[in-house]
Structure 1
Amino acid sequence: MSEEKNLKTASVLSFERKLDPSDALFFSGNWSDKDDDKAWQPIHLREKSVRGTISNRIPSKTGDDPIKLKAAIEKPNLQTVDVATLPFDSDTLKVEFTLRVLGGVGEPAACNSMEYRSKLVATISHYIDTHGLDILGNRYAANLANGRFLWRNRLGADAISIQITRLSGEESTLVGVFDALAHPLRQFEEKSVSEELEALAKLITAGLAGQEHVLLRVKAFIRMGAGQEVFPSQELLLDKGKSTKSRFLYSVGQDEKAIAAIHSQKIGNALRTIDTWYPDAEINGPIAVEPYGSVTTQGVAYRQPKAKKDFYSLLDAWVLKDKEPVIEDQHFVIAVLVRGGVFGDAS
C-alpha cells in the first residue's frame, strides 16, 4: 500500500500514435472514371502573380496622417502565390492515402518507472475489458466515411464518394463505398448506421486491440467542377529568407513531378476529431483530441486544468489516486493515448 500511495508519474513517458496515416496525394480525372486508376493524373502546383489591394487594418499612427493613409491604401498589393487546380477537362479531384491501425493501446513506448507502468497498463486494460474500443473505432470510422479529412475540399462539392479497401500483401479487399455528404460532421452515432460502416468500425477496433493487422487505402472522389481550385496543405514558413512568394503549398516529390498533397498530420487531426465529451461540445461540435482541448484556429483550449477536464488531471486522478473518471472522460483519456505523445512529468 505504501508503494501505491507514493506512486508518481514517470518522468519519461511516451506513447506511439496508433492511427498512422500517410500524406494524401491529389489527382484529377472525371467522375465517370472512379473505377479506372489509369485515368487519373497527378495535380501539380504552379505559381500565380496577382495584383491585389491593401485590405488589412491600417495602424493608428498611419490612419491619423491623411497623406500616409492615402499612400497606404492606394498602392497595390503585389503577391506571388502557389495554386493547385483541376484541368478544364476534369471535373473531379481524387485524394488518396493509406492508414495503418496499430495495436497496443495504453502500452507506453518509453517509461522509466516500472511501478507506474504496471499501474497504468492495468488501468487501461481494465477499461478495455469493461468497455472495449468500439466507441473510438466507430468514431474514427465515421470520420473516414464523412470525408472530414478533405478539409476545405469538402465544402461546396457536388458529390463525394469514398472508397476504402483493406490491403494485405499484394491483395486488396473492398471494405465499403460511402457517400460522404450523407454522413454528418457534427454528431456521432453510438452504433454504425450501415453494414459497411459497421464493418469498417469493427476493422479499426480490431486493429487498435491488436487482434488483426490493419492497413487501409482510402480514395476520396470529389466532384467540384472543371478547372476549379483545389486545396492542398499550406506550408508554415519559419524562415522566409529572400523569397517573395507569400503562399507555399505542400507537395510530394521534386520539381515538375511534385504532386500536391495534404500533410499526414492534418489527416491525423481530422481522423481524431471525435471529442464531443468536453464542456460546451453541444454548441461547438467535435474537436480534435488534444490534452488541453486546444483549437488553435479559435485560440481556445476547451479543457482547462482548473476545471480538471484536461488529460493530465484525468490521467493522474485515474492512475495515481484510483479516482475513476466518468465514462466520457475515460473515452477521452484513451483517445489521447491513441493519439500518442510525450506525457512524462519532467518537473
Structure 2
Amino acid sequence: MATKKKSGSGSGSAKVVAAMRGINVSDAPMCSIVGKELLPLEVMRHGIRGTQNLTPGKFDPNKLANIQITETAKTHPQATGMHLRFALQVTPLSRLLTACDSAEVRADIEQFLARAANSEELMELCRRYARRVFSGSFLWRNLTLAHSLDIHARCAGQTAQALGERPFELAERGFSEYTEDEMKLARWLQSSFASQAGLGQGIEVSAKVHFSNAGAFEVYPSQMYVSGKPQGFARPLYKLNPVSPSDLNRARGDKDVHSFMDSINMGQAAIRDQKVGNAIRTIDTWYAPGNVPPIAIEPNGASLSDNEFHRRPESGNSFFNLLPGIRQLTQDLKPEGSGMQTSPDAMFVLAVFIRGGVFGDAGKSGND
C-alpha cells in the first residue's frame, strides 16, 4: 500500500503544513420523542451504589460496595424514540491550506487540491461520507436501542433520506452499491468542496431512533474527559446549557430536608461535534490489503478502538510518507465520471487535508 517516491515526482520538504477542517459539524442535541413533541433529553447527576469490578492487583476483599457520583441520560417515560440533529458545513478545497513554510510544497499542495476538486477520488470520498451519514454511524452506542431509523439530510430545499431498516442494510454493504439518496448527498458535498467562493451550502442532518416499546431508556451522549477528577466521581457527560457552578454548589450543599435534591438536572444531553465528525470520516479501508474494517482518517492511522497505529511511518503509507510524492499523486487523480480506477493513496491524502490539522515534520499532528 506504500507509495514510493518516484524519480522526478518528489516535492520539496516543509517543517509545518496546516489545513482547515473541511467538514464542519455542530453538536447534536438529543430529544425524547413523545407523541408529536420533541422534549429535551436531560443529563442527571446522581449517586449510585454498585459493586467492585477491579483487577486482582487493586481488588479490596473487604470493600464490596462501590459508591459513586455519576451522570446518566434517559428518555422520557412515555418516549417512543429519540431524536437528534446536527448541521454540516463544507469548506472548499481551495481554502483548506492555511500555512506551509515552503513555497514549493505549498504550490504542489495547491495544485493537488485544485485538480482533486473535479476528481473521481473526491467523488468517492463524498460517497463514503454519505454512506456513514445514512448508516447512522454518528449515533454510536445509541444504535443498540434502534428498532428502526429515519435519517434525513436537507440542503437548499431538497431532501435525501434513509428510512426504516435501510440504514442497517447500508451499514452491512461497506462502501459499495450506493443508493440514489446517498448519491444525492454525495453530489451536494462534492459541489461544496469544488466551490471557489466562500463556504459551501449548509446541510442539516436529523435522525429519529424508534424504540420497540415506549420507556425511559438510558441513552449515550458524549462522555467528557476530565483530568484529576475527585475520588468517588464516576463520569461526566456532555451537555448543553449546563447548570452554573454556583447553582450546583448550592444544590449539593443544601441540608434542608424540604428542598434537598437527590438528583440534579445538569443540562441537555448531546453528542459533541468531534464525535459526530469522527464517525463521518471513518472511511479509511486503504490502510491494509484485504477486507478490513474502516478506521477514522488519521495521518498515522491511529485507531482508539483497537489502540493501534495502522499507518506507521516505517510502513511507508502514513500521510508523512506520502506527502513528499504529492506531485505523483496529483497525476494519479482521475477525472470525475471517467470510470477509471481511483488511487487509494491520493484518496487518503485528500481525506487527511479534509480532516484538517497542523502537521509537523516530527510526525505530530492535531485537529485544526
Q: Does the pair score TM above 0.5?
A: yes
Q: Deviations over 1:237-284 (max 9, x none)?
A: 1131x464211000011325721011100001000001111115614x
- Distance change >3 Å, CA 112–CA 123, structure 1 → 2: same
* Aligned residue runs from structure 1 range 291-302, under 5 A: 291-302=299-310
Amino acid at match of 2:16: V
Amino acid at match of 1:282: N
How far off its partner does 1:126 sit? 3.6
What is the count of residue pairs matched by the alignment? 321
- Distance change >3 Å, CA 155–CA 50, structure 1 → 2: same
Of residues 171, 174, 194 in structure 2, which corresponds to 1:187?
174
Of residues 114, 123, 128 in structure 2, which corresponds to 1:139?
128
Of residues 107, 125, 128 in structure 2, which corresponds to 1:118?
107
C-alpha distance in 1 between matches for 2:174 and 2:279: 14
Aligned position for 1:108: 97
Aligned position for 2:26: 22
Aligned position for 2:194: 209
Amino acid at match of 1:110: A
**Is 1:276–2:285 an aligned residue pair?**
yes
Q: Are the aligned partners of 1:43 and 1:84 in contact in 2 as well (CA < 8 Å)?
A: yes
| Larger deviation, residues 106-115 vs 243-252 | 106-115
Q: Are the aligned partners of 1:24 and 1:261 in contact in 2 as well (CA < 8 Å)?
A: yes
Secondary structure in structure 2 of the residue aligned to 1:84: strand
C-alpha distance in 1 between matches for 2:266 and 2:70: 19
C-alpha distance in 2 between matches for 1:5 and 1:151: 42
* Aligned residue runs from structure 1 range 228-267, under 5 A: 228-240=217-229, 242=230, 244-255=232-243, 256=265, 258-267=267-276
How far off its partner does 1:319 sit? 4.2
- Distance change >3 Å, CA 106–CA 330, structure 1 → 2: farther
- Distance change >3 Å, CA 105–CA 182, structure 1 → 2: farther
Q: Are the aligned partners of 1:107 and 1:121 in contact in 2 as well (CA < 8 Å)?
A: no
Q: Are the aligned partners of 2:33 and 2:82 in contact in 1 as well (CA < 8 Å)?
A: yes
Aligned position for 2:312: 304
Q: Are the aligned partners of 1:51 and 1:79 in contact in 2 as well (CA < 8 Å)?
A: yes
Q: Deviations over 1:169-190 (max 9, x none)?
A: xxx443334442231256111x
TM-score normalised by structure 2 residue count: 0.79
- Distance change >3 Å, CA 229–CA 321, structure 1 → 2: closer
C-alpha distance in 2 between matches for 1:55 and 1:257: 27
Unaligned runs of 5+ in 2: 1-7, 244-264, 334-341, 364-368
Q: Are the aligned partners of 1:102 and 1:214 in contact in 2 as well (CA < 8 Å)?
A: no
* Aligned residue runs from structure 1 range 297-336, under 5 A: 297-319=305-327, 327-336=343-352
Amino acid at match of 2:67: L
Q: Are the aligned partners of 1:100 and 1:216 in contact in 2 as well (CA < 8 Å)?
A: yes
C-alpha distance in 2 between matches for 1:136 and 1:6: 25
- Distance change >3 Å, CA 82–CA 188, structure 1 → 2: same
How far off its partner does 1:318 sit? 2.8
Amino acid at match of 2:39: Q
Q: Are the aligned partners of 2:150 and 2:161 in contact in 1 as well (CA < 8 Å)?
A: no
Provide the identity percentage: 29
How far off its partner does 1:139 sit? 0.5
How far off its partner does 1:40 sit? 0.5
Q: Are the aligned partners of 2:10 and 2:324 in contact in 1 as well (CA < 8 Å)?
A: no
Q: Are the aligned partners of 1:43 and 1:260 in contact in 2 as well (CA < 8 Å)?
A: yes
C-alpha distance in 1 between matches for 2:207 and 2:269: 15
Q: Are the aligned partners of 2:87 and 2:203 in contact in 1 as well (CA < 8 Å)?
A: yes
| Larger deviation, residues 123-132 vs 155-164 | 123-132
- Distance change >3 Å, CA 238–CA 274, structure 1 → 2: same
TM-score normalised by structure 1 residue count: 0.84
**Is 1:70–2:74 an aligned residue pair?**
no
How far off its partner does 1:123 sit? 3.1
Aligned position for 1:13: 17
C-alpha distance in 1 between matches for 2:50 and 2:278: 33
Amino acid at match of 1:192: Y
Amino acid at match of 2:291: E
Aligned position for 2:338: none
* Aligned residue runs from structure 1 range 30-41, under 5 A: 30=34, 33=36, 39-41=37-39
How far off its partner does 1:154 sit? 0.9
Secondary structure in structure 2 of the residue aligned to 1:233: coil
Secondary structure in structure 1 of the residue aligned to 2:296: coil
